[in-house]
Structure formats: C-alpha cells, structure tokens
Amino acid sequence: MTDSATDMLISAGMDFLRRHAPFDRMEPEALRFLLERARLAYYPADAQIVSPERGVVETFYILQRGKVLARQAGDVNVVDYSTMTLGPGECFPIGSVTGRRASTNLYVALDDVFCYELPAGDFFELMQRSAVFNLHCTQYIASLLNQSRQQLQVQFAQRAAEQQTMNSPLSSIVKRAPVSVPPGTTIRGVIATMVDSHLGSMIVTDGEQKPIGIFTQSDVLKRVVLSGVSLDEPISAIMSADPHTLPLASNAYDAALAMAMHGVRHVLAVDEGGRLKGVVSERDLFTLQRVGLRQIRQSIDRAADLETLCQAASDVRQLATNMLAQGVGAEQLTQFVSALNDTLTRRIVELNLERHDLEGIDWAWLSFGSEGRDEQTFSTDQDNGIVYVCTDMMDREQTQLRLLDFAREVNADLDKVGFPLCKGNIMASNPELCLTIEEWENKFADWVRTPEPEALLNATIFFDFRPLTGKFHLAHRLRLTLFQQVRGNPLFMRMMAQNALSVQPPLGKIRDFITDAEPEHPGAIDLKKSGARLFVDAARIFALAQGVPNTNTVQRLKLASAKLNVNANEVASVIEGFSFIQLLRLRHQHFEQEQGRPGDNYVKPDRLNELERRILKESFRQVRKLQQRLKLDYQL
C-alpha cells in the first residue's frame, strides 16, 4: 500500500477515534501509533470475536461499526443480568488483555461488524506511550466518569462564572433592568411607580440615562411627610444628588466598600459611558455572603424563626448548584446536602422544644431512607421517627402523646421549609413510628423472623436509620440489637438477597437500555428504582452480613468489601458506577426544578451524550456484578 493511501486510512481512523473516549483526549503521536499498528477486521453477524475457549486474549478490539453482544460465559451466570451491547467506539476486552488472561465473556457480532484490532504487545506499548490510554485501561469507569464531570463543568460554566461570591462582578449581581425617571417627574408619580414596581428606591436620570439622583423608601417619611413637601413637586427637589456609581466590571467587594465608606445602601452600576445599567443594594450583597458553607451553617444555627430557615434552605440549594458547577462528585455532594439538611432539621427540633415540655424523657429523632444514608438529592421528602425510653414510673400513653404533639409540629415545620410530608406517612408524627426502644426492637425482630414482602420492604427503609438529635445511645443500642437478630436468622438474609435481585439493571440484549418498564414515562429509566436502589440494596445486605454499622452506601461497600477481601479496584469501579448514577439524578433534578417542575428520577438515555450513555451502561454492568455476588453468596 502506498504511503499516501496509508496516510488517508490513518486520517480517517483519527477522525473516527477522536469522536470517542478516551481517544478524543489522547496524544496525537500515541493515536497515530495505534492506527499504524492496528488493522481493520470484518466479522459477519453471529460470528464469535472473543471466547473463553481461545485462551489468553492476544488482541485488543475497538468497535468501528456495528454492534457486539457481550455475554458472560460458564456456570457463573445470572439470566438477563449477564448481557450487554457494545457500540461504535467501545473497546473490549480491556480487563482480559490488561490481565493477560482468557476472557470470561463471549463477544458475538450482532450484525456486520468492523473492528480495529491491536496486538497485545502493541497494546502494552501504547499504554507506555499514552498516560490517557493507560488511565483509561487501568481505571476504566473512573476515567470515563472524570471525563463526564469535565463535560458537566462545561455545561455549568456560565453558572460557575456567576457563582454567588463577593468576587462576583456587578454585571452578574444585577438581575433586572433598572427603572428610572427624569428629574421633572412629580414626587407623587415616583412613589406610585415604586409601589407598582415593588421597588425600594428610584433612580433619577438625565436625557442620556446617566444617574443624577436617587430617592428611597426612607426618604418618603423624612423628606416628604415630615417636611410637608407637596407631592406635586418635582423629584429633583428632594432627591439625593450625585449617587455613588461603579463600573459594571467592579465586583461585590468594591460595592460593599463603597457602601461602608459613604454610609449608603445602594450603589449604581454604570457602563463605560456612565449610563445606568442596574442597582445593587445592601441586601443583594448580604444575600451573596449568605451563600457559603460557613455562613449558611451560622444562619441556621442562629435562626429564630421559620422564615430565616426557609431562606437558609434556599441557600443550601444554591450552594449545591455551585458545587455541581465546580465538578464536586456525587458522593460528596449528597453528603453535603444531607449534612446541611440535618442541621436544618436539628434547628427546627430545637425551636419546637421551646414550645414543648419533654423534660424527663430520653428520646432521639431518627432519620430513615436516603436521609439515614446521607444520600439526599435535590428532591426528597421526610422519612423520620422517634425512639424513646418509657420507665416503669412513666405513663406510656401520656408520654407518647407528648412526643406525638411535638413531632406533628416538627413535621409541619419541615414541610414549610421545603421537605414535603411523606405520602407513605413515614414520619415521627405517626404513632407506629414513635415507639419505645423495646417496641422498635420487637418490630425489627418481627420483620427478621417473618420475612414476608411487607417486612422486607420495611427493612429496606427502616434498617437505614441514623440519629439526628437527642440521645444517640438509643440508636446505638437498636443497631446492636439488629445485628444480633440478623446473625441468628440466615433465612431473612437470603430473602433480603432474593428481594434485591428482583429488580434487574435495565440493560437490553439488543438495545443499549430497556426504557419501556413504565408506560407513563416512555423512553425513560427511573434512575432511583432501577439504578441507585440496586447498589443500595446490595450494600445494605453486605453491611448487615458483615456487621458494618455505617448506613452510607459507599462506606458500606468499602468496609464490607474489606472484610470480604474483595479486590480494591473492583470495589472502586462499583462505587464509581453508583456515583455516576447519583450524579445523573442530581443534574436531572436540578434542570427540572430550574424549569419549574418537581424534580424526579426519570432520565431519558436518548438525551444523554455518547460518553454519558457509555458510562451509564458500565455503571449498570457494575451493579450486575454486585447482584452476581449476592446470587453466589446466597445460592439463588
């Protein structure tokens, strides 16, 4: 083949590979090395490309056209959990080539397939030449997820640039077009405009829209009412002349300094020609300062009323959005949201304790579900309860009534702050969930002894409990009792595992994803029920079996896997898969809420980009591995 023909083939190969990860970020010299060493091979439909029987894999494949079915081979097989479809740009079998072993999967062409084939020797040489390719092969899903986070940061770039800090330019703080009047406007007309437009101040401008004065609400009393000035006088007679102005490019610190130096509450933002572009108030700057972790925490801790806590809850959401824009991972973000929501809940409990006499009662406020796991997303309702001690000297009924009256007001206040009442009534104001320590222990024991469907469902909710305030030792005792009950009942654990396997990851045999499970949401996957829940359920079982007290899914996976001597890289891949699904949920909920819709978990794979679809497939493959482990452990 002539050099020109070779160059044309390499150029065409580069055009193709640069549309897919990780080749889109690889060094040009390394990419050329790959294409010079690889050959393009054809496989007809139903042809076996790789199989375990062929021994150690000597070739690395990059799918160029068509689709390949990857199916687990051998006896360790879980029906419908063990297949996935690969599309153009995807590579296989990475683990087998890297580990210099036979493949555990069978790879079959679903239709006419073209693959770039790279000999194993050249594969390892490429790993030496390219740090990007090396990372991709050794930390496959982590590498893809990092790329996805970078894409997410690009999507949020504008929001990040407008992040609410005191470094923000005035142009990002000004949210509405300024309202102004000419100097000849009557005082009556100015006040009427201020009332109609809900303004606290009015700017007076000349014919070129340059500010020459300002009139504020406080001026009405001091300069009009008390001075007896006629409302028919022009505003120029009583306005404050020569208002303080700053260029639009100035930042919030400049505005705060000007206000402090001159004792004013408003600064006018002007363009290069001195024309009015907006008004920045003292309240605007105060709002900016609030949206920081320390400031929000202080605001919550010092809050004396629900109005302040409602603002703090809004600030939590704003700060979480900023963290998304900065590329913070899902695990850290959900824990951050949960931690601040915990603080909000504690403050609401404290405010209600001022109105309720619970003196003499040892009690603790428990959180369940996602809050109990430190995994709250932007859309979450209440899941809580109370555990308390009732001594022989106390009237059990009267004690519970006191706690229920208190819990009802706490639940109502949480609802007002932004945590909707639970539709399933999983709340402390429910008498079934405001129980003595002995009643909780007996309830858990009943579920463990009789693992019927309802009991198993309850276990998935209530076994993820965590104390938020009160006597923490009560929750600790309840946890120890639960471990003792579970250890003595292997049937319960087996039934829990069977329940966890009842939902399959939505991977299609031919299509990438199964999206027709819920007719009311065509083309979508419920990433909570068919995604995150699968990881959560498996992690809960491993934690119960290994006596891991943590409730957080990632912590459960790490600690239980260490006790089970599971390979650290395998655990890391599982955690990355869970984190990506959580990240998709957070992003989707945020965008839905921005559009004024309640955030849900129904994500349409067709609306994801190619990289995200690829990582989502890999994430489902990781949870399938967890389910296979459960199947083996409990002989299901």
pLDDT digits (tens, 9 = 90+) for 413-448: 999 998 999 999 999 999 999 999 999 999 999 999
Q: Which residue has the tokens 């991709």?
A: 136
Of 513, 505, 490, 531, the C-alpha closest to 636 is 490
Helices (H) and strands (E) in the chain, counts: 25, 21
pLDDT tops 70 at residue 523: yes
Alpha-helix runs per DSSP H in 233-275:
252-262
What is the C-alpha separation between 225 and 287, in angstroms, rounded? 31
pLDDT at 172: 77
Interval 475-483 mean pLDDT: 96
Residue type, 105: N
CATH 3.10.580.10, applies to 171-289 = yes
What is the C-alpha separation between 38 and 32, in angstroms, rounded? 10
pLDDT at 78: 34
The class of domain 497-633 in CATH terms is mainly alpha
Angle (CA) 22-26-27 rounded to 5° is 175
- The token pair at 258 is 């000007």
What is the C-alpha separation between 108 and 228, in angstroms, rounded? 91
pLDDT at 137: 79
What is the C-alpha separation between 634 and 636, in angstroms, rounded? 6
pLDDT digits (tens, 9 = 90+) for 115-128: 999 999 999 999 98
pLDDT at 555: 93
Confidence of residue 162 (pLDDT cuts 50, 70, 90): very low
What is the C-alpha separation between 516 and 336, in angstroms, rounded? 34
pLDDT digits (tens, 9 = 90+) for 265-275: 889 999 989 99
3-state SS, residue 429: coil
What is the C-alpha separation between 341 and 375, in angstroms, rounded? 11
pLDDT at 58: 94
- The token pair at 211 is 């500010």
Backbone φ, ψ for residue 204 (5° rounding): -105, 125
- The token pair at 522 is 């065509």
pLDDT digits (tens, 9 = 90+) for 333-342: 788 788 888 9
pLDDT tops 50 at residue 138: yes
Backbone φ, ψ for residue 495 (5° rounding): -70, -35
pLDDT digits (tens, 9 = 90+) for 273-329: 999 999 988 777 766 654 566 677 878 888 888 988 988 888 887 777 777 766 667
3-state SS, residue 635: coil
pLDDT tops 50 at residue 577: yes
> CA-CA distances (angstroms) from residue 556 to 35, 235, 463, 475?
43, 68, 13, 18
Identical fold for domains 3-138 and 292-439+465-471, yes or no, is: no
Of 577, 568, 600, the C-alpha closest to 587 is 600
This prediction's pTM: 0.66
For the domain made up of 292-439+465-471, give the CATH fold: Beta Polymerase; domain 2 (3.30.460)
CATH 2.60.120.10, applies to 3-138 = yes
Backbone φ, ψ for residue 60 (5° rounding): -105, 130
β-strand partners of 241: 213
β-strand partners of 384: 367
DSSP conformation letters of 474-507: HHHHHHHHHHHHHHT-HHHHHHHHHHHTTS---B
What is the C-alpha separation between 347 and 441, in angstroms, rounded? 28
Supply the mean pLDDT for the chain. 86
* Contacting residues for 206 by C-beta, under 8 A, at least 6 apart: 182, 183, 212
When mean pLDDT is compared across 69-83, 227-241, 402-416, 426-440, the lowest value belongs to 69-83
What is the C-alpha separation between 512 and 612, in angstroms, rounded? 12
Across the beta sheet with 68-72, what order do the strands follow? 48-50, 105-109, 68-72, 83-86
Alpha-helix runs per DSSP H in 263-395:
282-290, 293-302, 306-325, 330-353, 369-372
When mean pLDDT is compared across 71-85, 451-465, 574-588, 603-617, the lowest value belongs to 71-85
pLDDT at 149: 60
Of 288, 316, 292, the C-alpha closest to 417 is 316
Sorted by where each begins, the domain ranges of the chain are 3-138, 171-289, 292-439+465-471, 497-633
- Cβ count within 10 A of residue 300: 24
> What b/e string do you get for 95-106 counting C-beta neighbours within 10 Å, with b at 16 or more?
bbbbeeebbebb
pLDDT tops 60 at residue 148: yes
Confidence of residue 79 (pLDDT cuts 50, 70, 90): very low
Confidence of residue 168 (pLDDT cuts 50, 70, 90): confident
pLDDT tops 60 at residue 536: yes
What is the C-alpha separation between 197 and 202, in angstroms, rounded? 10
Of 400, 310, 222, the C-alpha closest to 299 is 310
Label each residue of 143-198 as H, E or C: HHHHHHHHHHHHHCHHHHHCCCCCCCEHHHHCCCCCCEECCCCEHHHHHHHHHHHC
Interval 96-100 mean pLDDT: 81
- The token pair at 336 is 């951050």
pLDDT at 100: 81
β-strand partners of 442: none
- The token pair at 112 is 């006419």
Confidence of residue 23 (pLDDT cuts 50, 70, 90): very high
